Structure 1
Amino acid sequence: MSIPTTIPTIAAIDNSALAAQLDQRINNKTKPLGSLGMLETLAKQIGLIQQTTDISLKQAVILVFAADHGIVAEGISAYPQDVTWQMVANFLAKGAAINVFAQQNHCDLQIIDAGVNHNFGSRDGLIDRKLAHGTRNFAQLPAMTPETCHRALASGMALVAELQGNVIGFGEMGIGNTTAAAALMHKLTGIPVAQCVGAGTGLSSDGVLHKQRVIEAAVALHSTAIEPLDILATFGGLEIAMMVGAMLQAAERRMVLLIDGFIVTSALLVAARISPAILDYCVFSHCSNEHGHREMLQHLHARPLLQLSLRLGEGTGCALALPLLHASVNFLNQMATFESAQVSEKS
């Protein structure tokens, strides 16, 4: 499968002159050098993304993509597939954790039906981008056709093209999607399947072993899937593919990308194989408690902002990390300098 010509072009953000200006501005604040730790790193990264020393955050939004997975037919989930659509209904009723955390942090929230196996009809607050009623069972067939995969990428790009802000977080919902993410992780990193597979929604140790064996058999069946979009179409989900497109478009627009947990990072693995420069735009909100996420982050040389033993998904890590982005912007814009405060600098 060739990469479609519509894939966004992402510029690397390395700018040594601007980086030096940001360092000087950060270091001139009334504090010992480096004493704000990762907030300083974050302020500098935001400045390089926005190509300015006058950084700002505008209209932060979290997109939650929902879809179902045919692989659930293999008994890889502790929950039935109906939970996907039921949780989407919960999002729309503002009853989920992501609703609480997004509202708490004054963050817009968009819920996207990428491919849920349910007919919602017209529902306030639901963005209908359904491409199918879930993927096929990749234990037997590729999860998506190349055409469906490309349509999912294009749908994700189109959603981001309509946004007005400069900060975007990514969340997901889909029973079975930790199995898809583990398969993607294995294929894209070479890490053994046993180190990629976790409990997901709460599998027993026997359930985790069964999930591992299902993935290993599927990987053997689809051994010719080598290129990143082939891998995505073969093992991914509609919500994961849509996120890949959204991430690529957001980076082209020089937005700050807030990355959530295991599933969202699996989408980023695909996007980074297509366009490695996307990693310059990514802020990793947290290290998930889902087995394998830590190794994903190590593979990407990523430093997460938080470690709270989360494994819920939904974009909850993004919402919880958002105040740290505001803190990094605010200290750079509002904190006094040694000169303005008439504070003596280190001799």
Structure 2
Amino acid sequence: MAASLEETTVSYEELEDLEHGFDEVETEIIRQQYALSKPLYAKRAELVAKIPNFWPLVLEQAPMDLDEYIQPSDSALLLSSLKSLSVSRFELDADEKNGDPRSVAIRFEFAENEHFEDKVLEKKFWWRQSKDGFAGLVSEPVEIKWKEGKDLTDGLLGLVKAVYDEQRAKPKQETKDKKAKVELTEKQKALKEKIDNTGMGGVSFFAWFGYVGHYVTAEESKLAIQEEAEERRKRKAGEAVAKKEDEDEKMEDADEEDEDDDEDDDLEIFPAGDEVAMAIADDLWPGALKYFIQAQEQDSLSELDFESGDEDEDDEEDEEEEGGNDRPHKKHKGSAHSSKH
């Protein structure tokens, strides 16, 4: 049964303020946890640096929300060349008191490989908020210096970087007619055509470095946060707050924002980029030791299965001689030392 706040003395604003309180607590927990964990992560980095293929083995056991985006060609490159992976809360590193702990930087270090010249690829995600109600992670495309004919994204990463640079070069404009369609530029058209012609499942994990998300500048985010904080302060103090648009207008604007989001997604080469970033930062990174141990256990099981497989074959031959039926072999996940998928 649908409930209506109109029948109660509770307002949407009161619920929003309470929800914001929970968000502040969660954010503070991240801040404190990061400070307490830094010495442990530093110690872990020293230890795992002495273990060959530690991070490739960890990625072999990656959670499904990350693993599903790693193609066989990506896996081969990561297994053979990835030297180190690290996650930092870079805004906290710069300003412990005022930096947003939800912003993360994910850094990959590589050995020499046949695909690109870069030794380090680092992608930053900023927690931003906009006046239209969006709050979440945004990023910038990271260039990769691909070697001739070795671009795993087949040019997508280069195109999205060109579109982003074009967008950043001109100021963000607010149009009075919200329903007016914005014409795509030539670079945007080229990117959209490339995306449309890319088969499902054919995008490399390295396209993740091209994720942008909402285009929200630091200045816009700062103003949106200040305005929201001022409204909450006034409500708490019992002061008058400028009346917001009515529900019909809010619903109409929400529909228009959804349409804008769809248009943005049409030019996004890795729509789940923020989700993958959080899977790495909140799961893979803190759980690296757990995943490494899983890889070791999986490898041990594979070796035992291989040894028992020889015995099973002998048993099956004996059964065939005795007229017994063949039994299907069990399927196991490939060894962490082999290529994925």
Could you state the TM-score of these two structures normalised by the residue count of structure 2? Answer: 0.30
- The structure, 1 or 2, with the larger RCO (C-alpha pairs under 8 Å, 6+ apart) is 1
Tell me which structure has the larger Cα radius of gyration: 2
Could you state the TM-score of these two structures normalised by the residue count of structure 1? Answer: 0.29
Q: Which has more helix, going by share of residues? A: 2
